[in-house]
Structure 1
Amino acid sequence: MKKSRIISVALTLALVLTTVFAGTESIFADSTRAISGASSTGLSTFAVNEDGSITATNMNSKTPADTYNVKYSKDNPFAGAIKLPKAGTFEFNIVAGANTTVALYDSLTATTPIATKNLYQSYDGSAESFYVKAKKAGTYYIAFYTNSTTECTSQFNALYAPSGNVTPTKNKEYFSSATSSSYTYYKITAPSTGYIKIQFPHGTAGNNSVYSIKLMNSKKSKNLLKYVTKVNYSKNFTTYAAVPKGTYYVAVKSTTDSCYGIKLNFTKVTENSGSSRSKAKSLLKGNTKRGTILVTQTSSNADWYKIKVNSSQKVNLAVKTLTGGSSGGIRVSVYSSGKTKAFGSYDFYYGDPAGTLNLYTDYNGGKLAKGTYYIKVQKYGNGNGQYQIQWK
């Protein structure tokens, strides 16, 4: 099950700040007013930075985010300065000590907050996450409001997922700010023929996350998948792209998430197939053949293998695939010697990636008659991917 990335907030002592605002009335406090009433002296005591701010921790950093205790009440709300080193998405993980409205402002003179969230009191120490997109680096201000007349204590930490194009470390999750109207580009190099695994281990929308994917060439001028591919819960938030040697850009956008984690990995595939029926490579009983149907291939380009059945017998071909593309997948067809029409075929795709083909001749007791048979592997629809075929 996919879960949102929520950081557990340790209930440790930290620096405390209280500032005075006017009172409010309602189940949650009113956070639509300006933050200009905050005491600059009070703000300067909030954290260890010389200017009185704290710095949000990059989600991709190995350094854990510090936890801060904040005290506030109806007559004494809390406010503090948060530095954002790079444009991206804030993630505040908050354990609320009372029903609380938390707000983020872009300046002390702002008349309205950038975003707000109402939090119910946490009775079991669990944290809620507050995500806010910030278009630029700079200093922001977080405020806590409550209608509780008794002073309460909440805990929070501050992280951020950076925005912008990057080259992620191979097979390591990279946290990125989501974009909904434009694409973010992730560079990956394929040192040989193989396949790229594109995975989204975490997203702020949880199982409702949806990602629009393109695989761009080295100049970012052509989508090699032809159409946009949607990656969601039904695909286990994973898709694949089989590619020849080269440099590629995985382009991603999402209308569901504030930020997400992406992981890219490349796996080399050594293939020994024939490019035509006359050049088919032999598949021996008990052996396995592996290959790729590349994003650059058309349905007329196929991989060919042949099996030689020396006597009437049961023949089972176990097929496994890892596919990608906006639709379609990999088609496996079997031909009798001298025949141009396949006597059987099966389509594999993300929803049905593996299976066993039981080959037999009619009226032969479920066995395949003696002879040579040809196996054709090709793309169907807009599919591509990696496959393996074993004669069991």
Structure 2
Amino acid sequence: MKKSNVFRKLLGMAAAVCMMALLLGMTTLAADKVETIAFGETKENYDQDAGIVHYYKFQVKQPGLISVTGVAATLAGIPRDLRVSLCDAKGKVLTTDYVNAMNSVVKSYAVNKGVYQFKVQAAEKFIISTGHKKYIEKSGSTQKKAVSMKKKKAITGVVGIGESAKKTDWYKIVLKKSARITLECDVVSSSNIYIEVIPSKKITSIRGKHTIALGNERGERGKVTFQTTTGKKLPTGTYYIKVHRNSRNASTNGIYRIKWTK
């Protein structure tokens, strides 16, 4: 009788162990997968398990534009859009989009230096590919640290996704004699990026816009000449160029090019 009870207990323990193993096995099957991906590299996945979340980690050594494309397929082999999320190093989702390499649908994001990840989920089979184009930025972080611009020489910069929404880039133009200031601007961004002209000393008014609002994913160009409201040249002094995102929204990101043409 005692042996029978012991046997039942052993059977119960064995069943519990088997159940735990089964549960652990199921958890393992659905576990996240993390691997690295290099720019220009294509990764293929044939797990055939839409429950697995895939993370592709990469390092950005130079600020600029990163791009991603790919395509998903059902178990039957029917192609469909691939849902991709750009995440920071800790896995926080910064933005989510759909791409499709078969239809030439590519998404690009402006980023600063750092570690990022592409997250793919709910896809049985898929391929994913990435790219990167660097943009040199030498801006000041505050008005006092504004970097001088030289005439007829373009500067480039990055408004990176995931950075502080309050971040601004500062440049300055010093007029040693009265003149009009003409800026030629190119912007590629997810939403409007503002390029604002701020005189160091009080001027009655500047004709035209103090702020140039540009931005869309295909790129936009603007050219504005700043002068007094009476059409006269601007007085000597320092004029600051402030670049910032729309509505202080951290998801707004893009790259810009500004040239002081004359």
Give the TM bin, normalised by the shorter chain.
0.5 to 0.7
CA distance in 2, matches of 1:189, 1:348: 26
Q: Classify 1:285/1:228 alpha carbon distance in 2 versus 1 (closer, same or farther; 3 Å).
A: same
Q: Classify 1:339/1:244 alpha carbon distance in 2 versus 1 (closer, same or farther; 3 Å).
A: farther
Indicate yes or no: 2:118 matched with 1:250: yes
After TM superposition, give the deviation of residue 209 of structure 1 in Å: 5.3
Letter in 2 for 1:248: Y
CA distance in 2, matches of 1:199, 1:168: 11
Unaligned 5+ runs, structure 2: 1-28
**Contact 2:82–2:99 (Cα < 8 Å) also in 1:** yes
Q: Classify 1:332/1:235 alpha carbon distance in 2 versus 1 (closer, same or farther; 3 Å).
A: farther
Aligned length: 216
After TM superposition, give the deviation of residue 304 of structure 1 in Å: 0.3
String of CA shifts for 1:344-370, please: whole Å, max 9, x gaps. Answer: 23132325x2312313235455x7624
CA distance in 1, matches of 2:121, 2:213: 33
CA distance in 2, matches of 1:243, 1:383: 13
CA distance in 2, matches of 1:182, 1:339: 60
Unaligned 5+ runs, structure 1: 1-135, 137-162
After TM superposition, give the deviation of residue 239 of structure 1 in Å: 1.6
Identity of aligned residues (%): 22
Secondary structure at 1:278's aligned position in 2? helix
What is the TM-score of this pair, normalised by structure 2? Answer: 0.65
After TM superposition, give the deviation of residue 283 of structure 1 in Å: 1.0
Aligned to 1:331: 194
CA distance in 1, matches of 2:59, 2:245: 23
Secondary structure at 1:361's aligned position in 2? strand
Aligned to 2:257: 388
**Contact 1:292–1:387 (Cα < 8 Å) also in 2:** yes
Indicate yes or no: 2:168 matched with 1:317: no
Aligned to 1:185: 55
CA distance in 2, matches of 1:354, 1:235: 21
Secondary structure at 1:228's aligned position in 2? strand
CA distance in 2, matches of 1:187, 1:180: 19
Q: Classify 1:268/1:344 alpha carbon distance in 2 versus 1 (closer, same or farther; 3 Å).
A: closer
CA distance in 2, matches of 1:339, 1:203: 58
Aligned to 1:237: 106
Letter in 2 for 1:350: E
String of CA shifts for 1:128-183, please: whole Å, max 9, x gaps. Answer: xxxxxxxx9xxxxxxxxxxxxxxxxxxxxxxxxxx954323421333345876664
Letter in 2 for 1:249: Q
Aligned to 2:23: none
Larger radius of gyration: 1
- Relative to its length, the structure with more helix (as a share) is 2
**Contact 1:235–1:350 (Cα < 8 Å) also in 2:** no
**Contact 2:183–2:258 (Cα < 8 Å) also in 1:** no
Q: Classify 1:316/1:179 alpha carbon distance in 2 versus 1 (closer, same or farther; 3 Å).
A: farther
What is the TM-score of this pair, normalised by structure 1? Answer: 0.46
Aligned to 2:42: 173
Indicate yes or no: 2:239 matched with 1:376: no
Q: How does 1:158-169 map to 2 (within 5 A)?
A: 165-169=34-38
CA distance in 2, matches of 1:217, 1:354: 28
CA distance in 1, matches of 2:151, 2:66: 30
Aligned to 1:275: 141
Aligned to 1:228: 96
Aligned to 2:213: 346
Alignment RMSD (CA, Å): 3.8
CA distance in 2, matches of 1:231, 1:370: 50
CA distance in 2, matches of 1:228, 1:265: 17
After TM superposition, give the deviation of residue 230 of structure 1 in Å: 4.7
